[in-house]
A and B are shown apart, each in its own frame.
Chain A
Amino acid sequence: MKNPCYINGIGAVNAQGTWSDDPFTHIAEISNPLTMAIQPSYKELIPPAMIRRMSKGIKMGIFASQQALDDAAMGQVDAIITGTGLGCLEDSEKFLRNVLDNDEQFLTPTSFIQSTHNTVGAQIALRLGCKSYNFTYVNGATSFESALLDALIQMESEEANHVLVGGIDEIAGQTFVLKQLVQEVKANGTEEKLRDSQSPGVNFGEGGTFFALSTAKKDNTYAQILDVSIQNKSATEELTDFVTSFLTRNQISLADISAVVIGNNGDLVYDKYYTSFCTLFADKPQIFYKHLVGQSDVAAAFGLATAAFVLKNQIIPEAIQWNAVKHSALNYVLLYNQYLGKDHSLTLLHHVET
């Protein structure tokens, strides 16, 4: 019998602010192509001198990870696993510009040091004094799911009982000018909510979402994570097979799924994958979330938080209902995400009686 994996704590920083017991009531749907996170106060967590030197990504990661640990009343962990698509952009760009603008002269190391993709995971380990397993995944839209799969493997194989897993991506600088140039991100001045999307590209959003996972459940456990599957490419017509073979491996059928959480982002070209996915679950409640936090390579981590909230509370707040199907008891929830037709992932959660 493999060790189970329970979500015992959640922490997040994004366009809606920070994670709370009631995250879907007072919300503001985003319509800005580049939606920044509402930054919390960091002074309770990070010394002032360090706050100034740290990029948003590092700070959001520290905040969200601590919030998740607090939520789970967890002190130490056996593994810290992070995912980030674009990494520490702010510091990377700062150093790159200095190299290019000053002809490789007058450079200082701070931004280079903090530009490494594993900076957030490393900084969390440093402040927790955590000497255990520490991995960082950088694989586009499956960066977070890769981290989550690794967490599952560590727990199943009894290498770890308590794991901190999270995703972080920040919006900074020229990278996003370029993303707008190639119409990956909607043009500045566009104001389209997800459901009203008419122009090419997506609304991007930054943030950090962390989970305190444990092999033991508690009174306040959100849900159990059963499995994660990642596929680099898939045609829309191959999607059914991707879903059914995943469910079969986990010994459940399409009919067992109580609700689905989809990562649709208003992209006119690629949201057809979600339409296709949803036809498999037409009679089930469908839940969406990127209208709240925007698209990013790790936005699906917020999707997982959404699914965990729904399973724990057995409610689907109106703000996240994609279709009009009413829910009954929520037992199995399936998440699906892809970006630009690539990096497809499925995550299966189960309700936990506490």
Chain B
Amino acid sequence: MQNGIAITGMGIVSAIGLSVADNLNSLRNAQKGITQVDNFETSLRDRVRVGEIKLSNEQLSEKLHLPIDNSMTRTGMLGALAAQQAVANAQIDVTSQNYRTGLVSSTSVGGMDITEKYFYAYENRPELHRYIASHDAGVSSQHIADHLGLKGFVTTISTACSSAANAIMLGAQLIKSGRLDRVIVGGTDALSKFTLNGFNTLMILSDTYCKPFDQNRKGLNLGEAAAYLILESDEIVRKENKKVLAYLSGYGNANDAFHQTASSENGEGAYLAMQKAFKIARLSPQDIDYINAHGTATPNNDLSEGRALIRVFGERVPAFSSTKAYTGHTLAAAAGIEAVYSILALQNDLLFPNLNFETPMEEFQLLPQMRLLHQSVNHVLSNSFGFGGNCSTLIFSKA
């Protein structure tokens, strides 16, 4: 009896590290990656904190050994860095003709970081024209595929902050349906002035370190990151005797159908997504040892998600935390990096703390996990919710 889709590799770049090992180290040592914006000019600099990767585009380009006239955006480069780690970790040859290999990536900003820099300059600067086509969200995935040498099924999902969860979900279904043998799944998003100002107009950015599930939370810290998993069919795992890091045992997507940006008060979409994931996983709420919550630290999200958790788990909500106080909210990449953290929790029997928490919310009795805890972890549930009422849940199980 197989227990889901095998995960055989993972890669990550985030504000708390440029590898899986670095991320684990930061998670263990409560080292957050939240700072002021250093990579670009913004008038919001003194008013917001972000989870920024402290490498310039030039440094990223060097790390990837890209030609000087490449047309990759920051989103594409972060994605390529994380995806190549995942491929190396799973020890797969994506160019092999023996298996049908695909890429399901996701992004919300696409090439906006470049577009906002050159939008008005393009007309008079022909040397920049190579970047024009890089604006489209799908181009970041093409660049990642090209960087990896992957020719085959490539697609891109964009459902705001649940994007990477949906990419992981589609990847699993492509394998289940027999259309692919293995697939690279995840998401990437770079910080940009566009998103920073967008979230600022919604008045949901915190001017200090974000405090998920705290009564006095003031909003979120945005972040940038990329993370990818390698999913492989049971047949490959058997035939090649592959080491399995963990299994993706459940997944579900539902729509809150309440408001374009706000979550419903009773967390209907979140509730439905979790229920679907349990059904696919054939697990029940009491099987979950740890929840990696969406927990953006906006007043609206944490209340709505908390209520949904109570609806699903009743009086016995398992240990939960939001890791966004470490990384910031990395939008389309969030569910990707949190998938990596969920797998790390399973591999190391560790629960990661919800940093910055002080005061319980008055609406309910939920207390997030406050300190690093060693404890047997067999099943982890990870939530991700996005604009447009898009709610997704993934369940990861121990290999």
Contact = CB atoms under 8 A, between A and B. Distances in A.
Nearest to B332: A117
A200 B44 CA distance: 43
Interface string A86-115: 110000000110011001110111001111
Nearest to A142: B155
A131 B256 CA distance: 6
Contact of B388 (A119, A129, A137, A182): A119
Contacts of A100: 116, 119-120
Interface stretch (B55-63, B133-141, B359-367): B133-141
Contacts of A129: 257
Interface in B199-232: 200-202
Contacts of A86: 136
A231 B153 contact: yes
> Chain A: interface residue count, which band?
35 or more
A28 interface: no
Contacts of B42: 104
A126 B262 CA distance: 12
B138 A143 contact: yes
Contact of B202 (A109, A178, A230): A109
A146 B155 contact: yes
Contact of A181 (B120, B122, B142): B122
Contacts of B160: 116-118
Interface stretch (B3-11, B169-177, B242-250): B169-177
Nearest to B160: A116
A294 interface: no
Interface string B94-128: 00000000000001101010011001101100000
B116 A113 contact: no
B254 interface: yes
Q: Main secondary structure on chain A at its contact with chain B?
A: mixed
A253 interface: no
B241 interface: no
Contact of A230 (B44, B119, B153, B261): B153
Given A95-B198, A125-B255, A117 B108 contact: yes
Contacts of B201: 107-109, 112
A134 B391 CA distance: 9
Contacts of A234: 151
A184 B129 CA distance: 12
Given A112-B198, A156-B177, A232-B153, A178 B141 contact: no
Contacts of B269: 131
Nearest to A80: B255
A157 B173 contact: yes
Given A96-B116, A99-B197, A118-B387, A134 B253 contact: yes
Contacts of B44: 104
Contact of B138 (A103, A105, A107, A140): A140
B145 interface: yes
Contacts of A108: 201
Given A100-B120, A116-B108, A153-B173, A136 B157 contact: yes
A246 B306 CA distance: 47
A132 interface: yes
A116 B139 CA distance: 17
B200 A107 contact: yes
Nearest to A105: B43
Contacts of B133: 182, 184
A174 interface: yes
Contact of A121 (B151, B154, B177, B388): B388
20 contacts: A85-B136, A95-B194, A99-B193, A104-B193, A108-B201, A113-B260, A113-B387, A116-B160, A119-B260, A119-B387, A126-B260, A131-B256, A137-B157, A138-B158, A139-B138, A140-B138, A143-B138, A146-B156, A231-B152, A232-B145
Interface of A: 80, 85-87, 95-96, 99-100, 103-105, 107-109, 112-119, 121-123, 125-126, 128-140, 142-143, 146, 149-150, 153, 156-157, 174-175, 177-179, 181-182, 184, 230-234, 342-343
Give the 4 A-B CB pairs with smallest separation, nearest first.
Answer: A122-B388, A112-B198, A117-B158, A232-B154
Interface of B: 42-44, 107-108, 110, 112, 115-116, 119-120, 122-123, 129, 132-133, 135-139, 141-142, 145, 150-160, 166, 170, 173-174, 176-177, 179, 193-194, 197-198, 200-202, 253-261, 268-269, 272, 386-390
